[in-house]
Amino acid sequence: MDRHKAIYKLKTGGLNVIFSVDMFNEGLDIPQIDMILLLRPTESPTIFLQQLGRGLRKYKDKKYVNVLDFIGNYKKANLIPFFLSGNLKDTAGKAKLGRLPKEEDYPDDCIVDFDFQVIDIFKKMMIEQKNIFDLVVEDFNRIKEDLETRPSRLQMYTYMDDDLYSVIRSRGELNIFNDYLGFLNKINEISIEEKLLLNTKAYEFLNTIEKTTMVKTYKMPLFLAFYNDGNINLKIDEETIFKSFKEFYAKPSNAVDLLRHKSTKDYKNFDKKDYLRIAENPIKAFLNSAEDFFYRDESYFCLNDELSEFIKNPEFITHFKDIIDYRTRRFYKERLEKLEK
């Protein structure tokens, strides 16, 4: 059918639906349109708003427009209020903070109402029906796009879809946080410099601390003592350990566990011997469970000497700190979830 004839028939009711490919995103003005069918994904808020706009014109007795989304734009449904308000500045950041537009921010006579329960149903259906690894990669790309940079472990853990994380956390082979460098390599998101770490003692070490068990946070200040603000120590003495523990637990959010236990709730008055007493627990744990990487040398607690060639390596240093930050965040988030149950 001739294009102009088809558009005329749509306007006058001779046609109910027209499908188009990259033609009617903008510029088409048919106020009678009361339904939009989305059949192609778009990562652009501007294009998405333009597509919605084909049905947002007022016309006689038209009171609303139906939007049928067949391809997953519902995953960004929480951004739509901002699109409709016309304020596109940092929409993702505002949505994450829960700062939705006020009623007066929308155009006159525009009312926005979403049924997010339906969106949750779609998400669960999608997770059940799609390959889990593909979903993880898809979520990685979403976060990468939002952040405009490749996500670190900490960023990936922070922004990952909760339902998806709950699926992979108990499935070792799918849990990307058990081997994040390996995951980056698998999806070709690894740098040449990072690739040189693979199959080395440094890689084994990073992988070990990614998966180390944590009943309390005591291992983290030990790692920070080795990390030493990026100037990695292979050996740490009692003074270094004491200072790292004291600094770590001076941050109130890190002291939650200390406050919950009778023997440590007075931590603000701890002296050096008190912190060293706490540090002895993770030290013994590492000596028992990770003897390939930790040992004692007189008054020092030490990392394997084979790591010496990597302590100036920028990629190793970055991943070491990223794991410390990620494991700390994960500990408190999942501990809080347990306390709330």
Is the model's pLDDT at 156 over the cut of 80?
yes
Could you tell me which of 303, 134, 152, 279 has the C-alpha nearest to residue 220? Answer: 279
Cα 52–Cα 53–Cα 56 angle in degrees, nearest 5? 100
Residues sharing a CB contact under 8 Å with residue 236, sequence separation 6 or more, in sequence order: 222, 225, 226, 244, 300, 301, 302
| Residue 195 structure tokens | 């690739």
- pLDDT over 70 for what percent of the chain? 80
Closest CA to 209 of 187, 224, 231: 224
The CATH number of the structural domain formed by 3-121 is 3.40.50
Closest CA to 55 of 81, 79, 37: 37
Mean pLDDT of 264-271: 86
The string of pLDDT tens digits covering residues 215-237 is 888 899 999 999 999 999 999 99
Inter-CA distances, 144 with 98, 315, 327, Å:
20, 19, 20
- The pLDDT of residue 341 is 46
**What pLDDT sits at residue 340?**
46
- 183-205 pLDDT, tens digit per residue, is 999 999 999 999 999 999 999 99
pTM (two decimals)? 0.62
User: Is 324 in contact with 220 (CB distance < 8 Å)?
Assistant: yes
Q: Give the residue-averaged pLDDT of 257-262.
A: 80
Q: How confident is the model at residue 117 (pLDDT cuts 50, 70, 90)?
A: low
Q: Decide: helix, strand or coil at residue 288.
A: helix
Helices 238-249 and 272-289: angle between axes, nearest 10 degrees: 100
Q: Take residue 38 and report the two structure tokens written for it.
A: 């989305």
Instruction: Decide which of 147 and 41 is more confident.
Output: 147
At 42-64, the pLDDT tens digits run: 666 677 777 877 888 888 888 88
pLDDT band at 261 (very low <50, low <70, confident <90, very high): confident
Which pLDDT tens digit goes with each residue over 204-214?
Answer: 999 999 998 88
Closest CA to 267 of 296, 281, 283, 246: 246
CA of residue 262 relative to chain centroid, distance = 35
Q: Which of 61, 23, 64, 17 is nearest to 40 (CA)?
A: 23
Taking alpha carbons only, the member of 26, 13, 88 closest to residue 55 is 26
| Residue 191: strand pairing partners | none
Q: Determine the pLDDT at residue 122.
A: 53
User: Looking at the predicted structure, is the pLDDT value of residue 160 above 80?
Assistant: yes
pLDDT per residue as tens digits for the range 270-324: 899 999 998 999 999 999 989 999 999 988 999 999 999 999 999 999 999 999 9
**Domain boundaries in the chain?**
3-121, 130-190, 196-341
